[in-house]
Amino acid sequence: MKLKQLLQGVVTGSEAPDIEIAGLTSDSRKVQKGFVFIAVPGTKADGHDFAEKAVELGAAAVVAERALPLAVPVVLVKDAREAYALMAGNFFGNPAEKLNLVGVTGTNGKTSTTFIFKHVLEQLGHKVGLIGTIVNMVGEESEDADNTTPDAMELQALFARMVKAGCDWCVMEVSSHALDQHRVAGLKFKCGIFTNLTQDHLDYHKTMENYRLAKQKLFDVCELGVFNFDDEASAVMMQEAKTEKNVTFSTVSDFADFTARNIRLFADHVEYQVVSKGCLNRVNVAMPGGFNVRNTLGVIAACVGLGIPQADAVTAVKTCKGVKGRIEVVPTDTPYTVILDYAHTPDALINIGRAIRDFATGRIITVYGCGGDRDRTKRPLMTKAVIDFSDYFVLTSDNPRTEDPQRILDDAAAGIGDSKVPHAILVDRTQAIAHALSLAKENDIVLIAGKGHETYQILSTGKIHYDEREVVTELLEKQKQGK
């Protein structure tokens, strides 16, 4: 492909030479002969510093935000990240234009919402791709995901595979990082869903307003906006949205377009009535927790906003069985229940705690930790959230990454204050889970929060295999054997 073709839609400050390009990347380590290297300023390193290395590896041209003294043509752009996303789309022939895109953004609920939406569309006869935190899927084929929203080239390659496989829809989580870093630049969304806004990623965004503004960008490129009426950020999000149409959903207010009424929560499912203008349908879905009322209601609202009859959307939702790592019950031969959940923010812990408290008949014993190299201010808030619903808690490591695990626990322990809730602090996560299981009695619930679907732990030495389903099974087997 010619460099000029790759740069279609990109505002450049210099003329692009008429040369053939074999590929493109923003990672100098992935440069091959004939590639164009895009010098992206990163949060930890500046791509401009690696441009010379890229040329040595065979780059035929460089796209940069400032002039560089190189032996190959340098094309100047105002924003290298945006240029990279647009060029990636051009390289693959802009496959997203052949898909109906649904984007889901918010602090919590993105993964569950995308899986529910995918299921509903498939029940209605569509072939659907999915991009998100747990996996990326092309129809029924899946692969583990590294980022909530992939790198621009990975993203466009996924779109191309979806189109080739016959997908007509793609439902994707759109993270605040991806929006801020223009990874989805050039995409047009049929529908965008806003779940909620609570504290997270302030290590990156610095302020809640910056965090909100990043998420706001999704609704600059959506036809339909679907907003959680119960979240106070929705009012300003809707006001600033550039959508053609907006709809709202609520679990408490009759002023929303779609309202959940007569909500009933059980240990293995939820029931409610969805009420909208001229329509009322009963919903019974095999996913416990009050937040799954919101997640399913948001999907139903979006479907109706897209022209799908409410009754058809409800019928499809009823057959959804849940999402791995989201209030997931681990099969155990015990008189108590073990639940895994990905909750790793104060608000997510509050939500999972409320959900479990609604159906718990015994004690709630919570195991949780805080991620390293992430926002330190949320750590004591997470502890306070756990204290509010737990009868006993164990503070431990999550993914410490390069940070000292003990310092992370010290930060989180500051939230204990003068609380009288009994607890333990154990750095080793397996020991913490073992301790919680040893305390559990009939009808108790052991909640292991923070990792959910993850099957690894990130330490200072790198990523290791760590599947909490296996950990729980092995620990219970040792208990049986009296070891």
Nearest 5°: phi and psi at 305?
-60, -25
Residue 283 lies in a domain: yes
Q: What is the pLDDT of residues 395-409, one digit of tens each?
A: 999 999 999 999 999
How many structural domains are present in the chain?
3
The pTM assigned to this predicted structure is 0.79
Domain match, 126 and 240 both: yes
Residue 197 lies in a domain: yes
User: Which of 250, 213, 117 lies closest to 173 in space, CA to CA?
Assistant: 117
Q: Which two tokens stand for residue 420?
A: 């009288």
What's residue 259's pLDDT? Answer: 98
Q: What is the pLDDT of residues 7-20, one digit of tens each?
A: 999 999 988 888 99
Q: What is the pLDDT of residues 401-442, one digit of tens each?
A: 999 999 999 999 999 999 999 999 999 999 999 999 999 999
Domain match, 55 and 102 both: no
Q: What is the pLDDT of residues 62-104, one digit of tens each?
A: 999 999 999 999 999 999 999 999 999 999 999 999 999 999 9
Q: How far is CA 179 from CA 46, 81, 383, in A?
A: 19, 11, 30
Domain match, 368 and 432 both: yes
Q: What is the pLDDT of residues 278-327, one digit of tens each?
A: 899 999 998 888 889 999 999 999 999 999 999 999 999 999 987 888 88
Question: Which of the listed residues 72, 91, 110 is the one where a domain comes to its end?
Answer: 91
DSSP-based three-state secondary structure for 454: coil
Domain match, 364 and 309 both: no
Q: Which two tokens stand for residue 30?
A: 């992935």
Neighbours of 417 (CB within 10 A): 10
What's residue 192's pLDDT? Answer: 97
Residue 323 lies in a domain: no
Residues of the chain above pLDDT 70, percent:
97
Range of the domain at 51: 3-91
Question: How far apart are the C-alpha atoms of 441 and 426, rounded to whole Å?
Answer: 21
Question: Which of the listed residues 67, 91, 115 is the one where a domain comes to its end?
Answer: 91
Q: Which two tokens stand for residue 311?
A: 């009754």
- For residue 64, give the CATH number of its domain: 3.40.1390.10
* Strand bridging mode 364-370 / 392-397: parallel
Amino acid type, 423? H
User: Which of 104, 103, 112 lies closest to 452 in space, CA to CA?
Assistant: 112
- For residue 402, give the CATH number of its domain: 3.90.190.20
Q: What is the pLDDT of residues 190-239, one digit of tens each?
A: 999 999 987 565 566 578 788 888 899 999 999 999 999 999 999 999 99
How far out from the chain centre does Cα 146 lie? 11
Nearest 5°: phi and psi at 315?
-60, -40
Domain match, 21 and 52 both: yes
Domain match, 72 and 104 both: no
Say what angle helices 80-91 and 152-164 make with each other, to 10 degrees. 20
What's residue 427's pLDDT? Answer: 97
Q: What is the pLDDT of residues 97-154, one digit of tens each?
A: 999 999 999 988 898 999 999 999 999 999 999 998 778 999 788 887 766 567 899 9
42, pLDDT greater than 90: no
